[in-house]
Amino acid sequence: MVYPPQEPSPLIAHWVERHRHPLSFALHMVGIPPTILGVLLFSVYVGLLSAPVMALSLALFFGGYLLQFAGHVLEGTDPGEIVFFKKKLGMPYVEFPPARGAVATAASAGRDRTTGKPAAAPG
């Protein structure tokens, strides 16, 4: 039986909204698998204590993560891990890529363009 298409989970919908630029999305699609494989290979290294396996594991992890980070630089947003820590520290962050005209709209709506929260009143 073929089921009708399901709505994506909120987590997936949020992720897709944060990665709108086609090149950023492509960099993530290429960078995520080696990052995961690097984590999995690290457990193999622990079992074998093999330096080449460790080097491959680290190269895959950091290479994949670097591709994802490049996507965020291209899009002008902070990576999810950085957003988490900036939120905890009360620092400004850019979670969603700015849309055309969003700066003027956010300013005219009295909202902080990085967090979307109401801007503090002057004075």
Q: Is residue 59 part of a domain?
A: yes
Secondary structure of residue 43 in the 3-state scheme: helix
Q: Are residues 36 and 72 in the same domain?
A: yes
Q: Are residues 89 and 60 in the same domain?
A: no
List all residues 6 or more positions away from 24 whose beta carbon is below 8 Å from its beta carbon: 71, 72, 74, 75
Which of 3-7, 50-54, 61-65, 70-74 shows the lowest mean pLDDT across its residues?
A: 3-7
**What's the chain's average pLDDT?**
83
List all residues 6 or more positions away from 80 whose beta carbon is below 8 Å from its beta carbon: 18
Q: Are residues 109 and 57 in the same domain?
A: no
pLDDT tens sequence across 17-56: 888 899 999 999 999 999 999 999 999 988 899 999 999 9
Q: Are residues 33 and 66 in the same domain?
A: yes
CB 60 within 8 A of CB 41: yes
Nearest of 119, 95, 89, 93 to residue 106 by alpha carbon: 119
Domain membership of residue 41 as a residue range: 10-76
At residue 111 the predicted structure's pLDDT band, cuts being 50, 70 and 90, is low
Q: Is residue 5 part of a domain?
A: no
